[in-house]
Amino acid sequence: MCSFDARAADVLYVDFSIRRSQTMAKQMNEFELVCPKRADPYSRQFWFSSLEASWRNRCMESVWDMEQLDWGYLLWMGQYHRVLAGFQTPWAGFSALPEAARELLWIAGETAARRGAIVNEGLCEVGTLAREIGCRVVLMKSPNYLLEVFGDYRCREVRDIDLLVSENDIDAVSSWFLGHRFEEERRRRQRIYRRGDALIEVHFCAAERRRHWGLLSTEALMDRAQPSPRHAPLLQLEPVDDLLMLVLHARHHEYARYLWLRDLAAWWSVRQPDPSAVQTAFLSRGWGRMAWVVWRGLQEVGWEMPLSWASVDWGVKDRFDRLVNRYWAARGLFTGESPEAFRLWKRIEVSEAEGWWSKLAAILPCFSAKFMREYRSARRAGLSGKVIARGG
């Protein structure tokens, strides 16, 4: 049963919109919220401690000196990486928290709460769709586990709903949405539906990249799916399949946001998948290197890797492992793209490509004159946030 009060949500939205406009002007005068070039070690340590406390949903110890922290860096990183709402609980015990930081936390929480109300309303409608059409609908990604971690949506803004359906049912699903005043946008292997602030993505192919399509059968995923305990009659992916999808989604976006690492750590804390089954699922598809980048990144935010895992078991050699370590070290300093990032993703693309022509197409941009000029310039500048062009 839906319990969404649209009028109350609109009043709330107007209220925090006014406060947001006032606060943004205020905090811009107090902090320089610009892309940071570097972080001092103390602030960087606080950033990663905040991320860990965020996915564990617990308060941080009050041993940190608020005046020594670079709040311009911390608030910019929190906004850019979309995790600021998740810092409400970790930072709740800091009595000396700057007023601008308190205001931004409040705004992030209210924004997330309003989006959560819209998502709940959308999930009610999707449940009605599944019952009326009589088809299987799998709910993917964050709504399945975030409520188990945080209890509500205030600590994590959810912007859309991702569904997986059989390609045989897509026409019936499309007709239902169009009949309920949604606007449809057709894309390759998916349909996007909008109505007001609601955004629903319906996929009939689980993977977002063509190279992964043949390794993830939609029908097999749906056959293994389980009833969703919170959103019946919708289904949710079996835990290992769910992890595959979360890793692929973050890989597709090249981990541009720490949000996805935080979410993966939160997912692991409530799902606790079998490490052997996880390893088999990734290695059987040739995704060992991709997965290793994720596991090393998760360690940056306080996640503990299973003791049975070692780099060699994932097909990773020392040289690649060192590149992964340099990549994550650079990511913690700034948000721009580093030479290590370009090299890392090219290495992964080459390893995933099938056939020599595909591998050659993946590696050729590394030899363009433009890339070599910018790569040498970035290396001379060090970890300064220099953006590397993606090809010539």
pLDDT tens-digit series, residues 96-114: 999 989 999 999 999 999 9
Residue 317 has what pLDDT? 86
Q: Please report whether residue 60 resides in a domain.
A: yes
**Contact criterion met (CB below 8 Å) for 141 and 249:** yes
pLDDT over 70 (residue 390):
no
Q: Is the pLDDT of residue 132 over 90?
A: yes
Q: How far apart are the first and last CA of the chain?
A: 54
The whole-number pLDDT of residue 251 equals: 78
Q: Where in the sequence is the domain holding 28, given as residue range(s)?
A: 6-111
- The answer to the question of residue 34 being in a domain is yes
What is the 3-class SS of the chain, one letter each residue? CCCCCHHHHHHHHHHHHHHHHHHHHHHHHHCCCCCCCCCCHHHHHHHHHHHHHHHHCCCCCCCCCHHHCCHHHHHHHHHHCCCHHHHCCCCCCCCCCCHHHHHHHHHHHHHHHHHHHHHHHHHHHHHHHHHHHCCCCEEECHHHCHHHHHCCCCCCCCCCEEEECCHHHHHHHHHHHHHCCCEEEEECCEEEEEECCEEEEEECCCCCCHHHHCCCCHHHHHHHCEECCCCCCCEECCHHHHHHHHHHHHHHCCCCCHHHHHHHHHHHHHHCCCHHHHHHHHHCCCCHHHHHHHHHHHHHCCCCCCCCCCHHHHCCCHHHHHHHHHHHHHHHHCCCCCHHHHHHHHHHHHHHCCCHHHHHHHHHHHHCHHHHHHHHHHHHHCCCCCCCCCCC
Q: What is the pLDDT of residue 4?
A: 36
In a domain? residue 64: yes
The whole-number average pLDDT for the span 64-83 is 91
Is residue 311 over pLDDT 70? yes
Residues 372-378: what's their mean pLDDT? 60
Q: Is residue 18 in some structural domain?
A: yes
Q: Are 89 and 58 in contact (CB under 8 A)?
A: yes
Task: Return the exposure string of 234-259: e unless at least 16 CB atoms fall within 10 Å of the residue's CB, then b.
Answer: bbbbbbbbbbbbbbbbbbeeebebbb
Classify residue 30: in a domain, yes or no. yes
Predicted confidence at residue 379, as pLDDT, reads 57
User: Does the residue 150 lie in any domain?
Assistant: no
Q: What is the pLDDT of residue 62?
A: 86
Instruction: Quote the tokens at residue 57.
Output: 């949903």
**Does the pLDDT value for residue 12 go beyond 60?**
no
Does 37 have pLDDT greater than 50? yes
pLDDT at 224 over 70: yes
Task: Between 377 and 192, name the one with better pLDDT.
Answer: 192
Residue of higher predicted confidence among 390 and 308:
308
State the pairing for strand pair 161-164/198-203: parallel
Averaged pLDDT, 369-376: 58
Q: Please indicate, yes or no, if residue 19 is contained in any of the structural domains.
A: yes
Interval 177-188 mean pLDDT: 92
Q: Rounded to whole angstroms, how far apart are CA atoms 235 and 165?
A: 10
Supply the mean pLDDT for the chain. 81
> Structurally, how many domains does the chain consist of?
1
Task: Give the pLDDT mean for 2-26.
Answer: 44
- 187 vs 343 pLDDT, higher one: 187
Question: Whole-angstrom Cα distance, residue 350 to residue 356?
Answer: 9
Residue 55 lies in a domain: yes
